[in-house]
Amino acid sequence: MKNNPAKTSNLNNHTERFYIAYGSNLNLTQMAHRCPTAEVAGQTILKNWRLMFRGANNSAVTTIERSPGYHVPVLVWKLRSQDEQALDRY
């Protein structure tokens, strides 16, 4: 699953981005394994959005789409460049 980074900053000579995650990227254990330097920066709920699964049963990916009455919980992660690269491989 690939989400779009929301903001970039350069702290301690490391590029950091805020990443809005849903689906399996809410799993703290999985994210710690995939992205060991990532930190949770916050959480919220996207109102009037729905979590959807696209693709075949054995290769489905998650996405979100606008849908009145639904909501999607999200985490905001602070990622370094190596974390973002790890997510791109996933």
Which segments of 1-80 does DSSP mark as H helices, in order? 28-34
The arithmetic mean of pLDDT across residues 49-71, rounded, is 90
pLDDT above 90: residue 27: yes
Residue range 5-89 forms a domain whose CATH class is alpha beta
pLDDT band at residue 3, thresholds of 50, 70 and 90?
A: low
**Mean pLDDT, rounded, of the chain:** 84
Single-letter amino acid code for the residue at 64: I
CB 12 within 8 A of CB 81: no
* Strand partners for 61: 54
How is residue 85 annotated by DSSP?
H
Residues in contact with 22: Cβ distance below 8 Å, sequence separation at least 6, in sequence order: 1, 3, 46, 51, 62, 64, 72, 73, 74, 75
pLDDT band at residue 46, thresholds of 50, 70 and 90?
A: very high
